[in-house]
């Protein structure tokens, strides 16, 4: 027998999603008809257990366990779902908002901890860069020529008539100040401190 | 049909173009100079945070505040038409303009951040930028100039079988602003056709993502490369020889990983990867090393050049030899 649970605030999760800064004003989550078009073309769904249609259903049903569901981390942020949805919904955007909720709660922070070096490099140079561990894997996969390229990039750029890509000190100071006042610096430190 | 500018352009530097395929930028400049597109590059411009944004590392407010700083640079230098070399920047910048225009609360927060950072002159006023009229992807500019471009073609590239990979973050994020097709993208095909060359047009998987998936390439390599392999296999079945790109991230996924995937699958894909800017510059007679920057590619472009009537001084096995090696 099915038990009916009365929820005091049955639309809390969907409202939180819609109120997020990331949510486009025309995000059509309420209009979702559960047609499954998104899931049918989703690379995340074809390769993993992740299912964008089901993710949307759970948000609409106020099932907050979706925030801690590992599968949301298997989305490719390719927006194919967005381009195909007949109802003007955007599963990609909803996914990104759920991930932010997960990061806020703490669990999600572990998922992105390894990417922190990108943030450090951004504050230092005004440009992000591939974190070392990942870069080393790339060198292994792509070959030593990839390393040679990185070592010689300045000279190659000079040959191409391009200038220095690292921002002037004045600009990196501005960027650091902005990221300090926007709360990003604190956010980054918090993510670094989270336990795996 | 949206109006596409050919002047007052801030050519937006891309972090991945900078260090992976810098030849994309030099090729863009080469084409712009030939066909008379007025542009400017500013060394103060920061990266859009794109990759960090989709690693979920950056929060939307920080990304938006940094965008406001870049918009200020564009406006102050009278180059308000931002043209990106990367599809992710295109989508990120468009989104931040939209937020700054419709969300008063976010705009106030961003302005407070700028004030607190001692940069009150950078404050954003509603509608300073227009998401549809000020933010473009370079492929749109090239499409708009396709007839002009066709007049400068000196190198015959017609013998190759060509397919296009339209970046998702151009086509599918702000799809109302996408020109030449969303579900059946033909923007780059249109440019190539205007140069008097056929592409294979539609193919299964034409609109499928490259598989990079931002974090997936690093944290879930197998599934990321499975998506990439599928697309390569479809292209191989069609005997495609050149895959054209419009985003350094997709180009990386295919070019850097093609040999790795070949080894895994025990088969050979004879597919060259070129950015649309590199392809056009090559057709216009540009030097493969000092303009196209093919020395930074993983799948060598020299075998392609050897098949051309045009003769080049190829540096095949010592592409980086004159330089340091580690
Ligand atoms: S989000 Fe769109 S495509 Fe996906 S199930 Fe709902 S209506 Fe269908
Ligand atoms: S962006 Fe959409 S289509 Fe792409 S992986 Fe995520 S849910 Fe699937
Ligand atoms: S969007 Fe492109 S250029 Fe911008 S930060 Fe990202 S990868 Fe770099
Ligand atoms: S194809 Fe891949 S890298 Fe290119 S825009 Fe799409 S998701 Fe990004």
Q: Are B172 and B283 members of one domain? A: yes
Residue A95 CA to residue B278 CA, distance in Å, equals 35
| Sequential DSSP letters for A62-78 | T-GGGGG-GGGGG----
Domain A12-105 = CATH 1.10.1060.10: yes
pLDDT average, residue stretch B200-222: 95
Q: Is residue B58 part of a domain?
A: yes
Determine the distance from the C-alpha atom of residue B177 to the mean position of all C-alpha atoms in its chain, rounded to a whole number.
17
Residue B319 CA to residue B146 CA, distance in Å, equals 32
B78-137, pLDDT tens digit by residue? 999 999 999 999 999 999 999 999 999 999 999 999 999 999 999 999 999 999 999 999
Per CB-CB distance under 8 Å, the chain A contacts of B18 are: 127, 157, 165
Residue B172 CA to residue B91 CA, distance in Å, equals 9
User: CB A142 to CB B260 under 8 A?
Assistant: yes
Q: CA of A179: how far to CAs of A103, B90, B116, B236, in Å?
A: 18, 21, 11, 45
Residue B38 CA to residue B10 CA, distance in Å, equals 9
- What pTM was estimated for this model as a whole? 0.95
Q: By residue range, what is the domain housing residue B107?
A: 9-137
Q: What is the pLDDT of residue A126?
A: 83
A29-49, pLDDT tens digit by residue? 999 999 999 999 999 999 999
Per CB-CB distance under 8 Å, the chain A contacts of B172 are: 78-80, 82-83
Boundaries of every domain in chain A: 12-105, 111-193
Q: Is residue B145 part of a domain?
A: no
Give which of B38, B39, B62, B41 is closest to B52, Cα–Cα. Answer: B62
Residue B61 CA to residue B113 CA, distance in Å, equals 10
Q: What is the pLDDT of residue B319?
A: 63
Residue A127 Cβ inside 6 Å of ligand 2? The answer reads no
Residue B107 CA to residue B68 CA, distance in Å, equals 9
B65-82, pLDDT tens digit by residue? 999 999 999 999 999 999
Do the bridges between strand B81-84 and strand B39-40 make them parallel or antiparallel, or are there none, so unpaired?
A: unpaired
Any chain A CB within 8 A of the CB of B297?
A: no
Q: Is residue B142 part of a domain?
A: no
Q: Are B292 and B278 in contact (CB under 8 A)?
A: yes
Q: Return the number of other C-beta atoms located less than 10 Å from residue A135's C-beta.
A: 16
Q: Are B231 and B272 members of one domain? A: yes
Helices then strands, counting H and E runs in chain A, come out as 13, 0
Q: Are B300 and B162 members of one domain? A: yes
| Per-residue confidence band for B323, with pLDDT thresholds at 50, 70 and 90 | low
Which residue matches tokens 């074809």? Answer: A46
- Probe residue for ligand 1, chosen from A29, A30, A56 as the CB with the greatest number of ligand atoms within 8 Å: A56
Give the number of beta-carbon pairs within 8 Å between A and B: 232
Q: Are B89 and B172 members of one domain? A: no
Please give the distance, rounded to the nearest whole angstrom, from the Cα atom of residue A149 to the centre of ligand 3.
Answer: 19
Give which of A118, A142, A5, A187 is closest to B55, Cα–Cα. Answer: A118
Question: Cα distance from A136 to chain B (closest Cα, Å)?
Answer: 11
Please give the distance, rounded to the nearest whole angstrom, from the Cα atom of residue A76 to the centre of ligand 2.
Answer: 5
Residue B304 CA to residue B267 CA, distance in Å, equals 19
Q: Are A13 and A64 in contact (CB under 8 A)?
A: yes
Q: Are B100 and B64 in contact (CB under 8 A)?
A: yes
Interface test with A, best of B22, B92, B290 (most A CBs within 10 A): B22
Q: What is the pLDDT of residue B54?
A: 94
Question: Cα distance from B192 to chain A (closest Cα, Å)?
Answer: 24
For residue B137, what is the enclosing H or E element?
Answer: strand B135-137
Residue B10 CA to residue B46 CA, distance in Å, equals 12
- Between positions 56 and 85 of B, the ones with CB within 8 A of A are 56-62, 64-66, 69
DSSP-based three-state secondary structure for A53? helix
Give which of B283, B216, B25 is closest to A162, Cα–Cα. Answer: B25
For residue B101, what is the enclosing H or E element?
Answer: helix B87-102
Q: Are B201 and B286 members of one domain? A: yes
Q: Are B171 and B234 members of one domain? A: yes
Can you read off the two tokens belonging to residue B189?
A: 């095909």
Q: What is the pLDDT of residue A192?
A: 94
DSSP-based three-state secondary structure for B94? helix
- Probe residue for ligand 1, chosen from A30, A31, A38 as the CB with the greatest number of ligand atoms within 8 Å: A38
Q: Are B120 and B209 members of one domain? A: no
Residue B258 CA to residue B241 CA, distance in Å, equals 13
Give B81's strand partners: B9
Any chain A CB within 8 A of the CB of B311?
A: no
Give CA angle at B186 (B184, B188), nearest 5°. 145
Query: What Rg value do the Cα atoms of chain B yield, rounded?
Result: 20
Residue scoring higher pLDDT (B17 or A194):
B17
Q: Are B84 and B177 members of one domain? A: no
pLDDT average, residue stretch A137-158: 94
Give B137's strand partners: B84
Evaluate if residue B326 carries a pLDDT over 50.
no
Q: Are B23 and B111 members of one domain? A: yes
Per CB-CB distance under 8 Å, the chain A contacts of B58 are: 119, 184
User: Could you say which of A119, A143, A174 has the minimum Cβ distance to residue B52?
Assistant: A119
Residues near A191 by beta carbon (within 8 Å), at least 6 away in sequence: A103, A109, A112, A113, A116, B57
Q: Is residue B82 part of a domain?
A: yes
Q: CA of A154: how far to CAs of A143, B19, B218, in Å?
A: 20, 9, 25
Q: What is the pLDDT of residue A106?
A: 85
Q: What is the pLDDT of residue A97?
A: 98
Out of B137, B164, B179, a domain closes at B137
Residues near A109 by beta carbon (within 8 Å), at least 6 away in sequence: A103, A190, A191, A194
Q: Is residue B4 part of a domain?
A: no
Per CB-CB distance under 8 Å, the chain B contacts of A25 are: 102
User: Could you say which of B19, B216, B226 has the minimum Cβ distance to residue A153?
Assistant: B19
Determine the distance from the C-alpha atom of residue B136 to the mean position of all C-alpha atoms in its chain, rounded to a whole number.
11
Q: What is the CATH number of the domain that holds B225?
A: 3.40.50.11810
Q: Are B176 and B115 members of one domain? A: no
User: Could you say which of B65, B209, B256 has the minimum Cβ distance to residue A182?
Assistant: B65
B181-202, pLDDT tens digit by residue? 999 999 999 999 999 999 999 9
Q: Are B128 and B186 members of one domain? A: no
Q: Are B175 and B234 members of one domain? A: yes
Query: What Rg value do the Cα atoms of chain A yield, rounded?
Result: 21
Residue B23 Cβ inside 6 Å of ligand 3? The answer reads no
- What total number of domains does chain B contain? 2
Q: Is residue B1 part of a domain?
A: no
């Amino acid at each position: 027998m099915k038990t009916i649970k009365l929820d005091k605030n049955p639309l809390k999760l969907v409202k939180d999603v819609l109120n997020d800064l990331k949510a486009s004003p025309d995000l059509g989550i309420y209009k979702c008809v559960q047609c499954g078009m998104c899931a049918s073309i989703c690379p995340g769904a074809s390769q993993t257990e992740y299912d964008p249609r089901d993710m949307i259903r759970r948000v609409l049903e106020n099932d907050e366990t979706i925030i801690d569901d590992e599968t949301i981390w298997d989305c490719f942020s390719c927006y194919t779902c967005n381009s195909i949805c007949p109802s003007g919904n955007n599963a990609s955007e909803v996914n990104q908002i759920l991930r932010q909720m997960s990061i806020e709660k703490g669990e999600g922070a572990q998922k992105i901890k390894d990417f922190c070096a990108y943030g450090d490099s951004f504050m230092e140079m005004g440009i992000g860069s591939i974190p070392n561990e990942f870069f080393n894997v790339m060198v292994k996969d792509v070959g030593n020529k990839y390393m040679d390229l990185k070592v010689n990039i300045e000279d190659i750029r000079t040959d191409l008539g391009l200038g220095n890509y690292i921002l002037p000190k004045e600009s990196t100071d501005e960027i650091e100040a902005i990221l300090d006042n926007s709360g990003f610096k604190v956010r980054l430190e918090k993510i670094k401190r989270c336990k795996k | 049909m949206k109006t596409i500018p050919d002047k007052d352009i801030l050519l937006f530097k891309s972090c991945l173009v900078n260090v992976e395929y810098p030849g994309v930028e030099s090729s863009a400049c080469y084409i712009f100079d030939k066909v008379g597109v007025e542009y400017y590059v500013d060394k103060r411009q920061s990266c859009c945070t794109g990759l960090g944004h989709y690693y979920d590392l950056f929060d939307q407010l920080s990304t938006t505040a940094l965008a406001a700083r870049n918009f200020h640079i564009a406006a102050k230098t009278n180059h308000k038409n931002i043209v990106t070399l990367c599809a992710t920047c295109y989508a990120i910048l468009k989104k931040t303009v939209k937020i700054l225009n419709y969300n008063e609360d976010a705009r106030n927060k961003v302005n407070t951040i700028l004030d607190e950072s001692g940069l009150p002159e950078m404050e954003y006023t509603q509608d300073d930028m227009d998401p549809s009229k000020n933010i473009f992807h370079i492929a749109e500019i090239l499409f708009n100039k396709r007839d002009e471009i066709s007049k400068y073609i000196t190198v015959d590239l017609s013998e190759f079988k060509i397919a296009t990979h339209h970046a998702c973050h151009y086509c599918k994020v702000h799809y109302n602003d996408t020109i030449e097709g969303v579900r059946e993208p033909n923007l780059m095909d249109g440019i190539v056709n205007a140069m008097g060359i056929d592409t294979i047009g539609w193919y299964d998987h034409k609109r499928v993502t490259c598989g990079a998936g931002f974090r997936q390439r690093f944290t879930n390599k197998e599934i990321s490369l499975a998506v990439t392999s599928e697309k390569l296999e479809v292209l191989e079945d069609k005997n495609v020889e050149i895959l054209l790109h419009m985003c350094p991230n997709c180009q990386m996924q295919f070019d850097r990983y093609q040999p790795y995937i070949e080894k895994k699958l025990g088969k050979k894909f004879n597919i060259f990867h070129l950015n649309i800017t590199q392809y056009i510059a090559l057709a216009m007679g540009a030097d493969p090393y000092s303009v196209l920057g093919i020395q930074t590619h993983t799948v060598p472009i020299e075998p392609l050049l050897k098949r051309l009537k045009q003769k080049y001084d190829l540096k095949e096995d010592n592409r980086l030899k004159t330089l340091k090696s580690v």
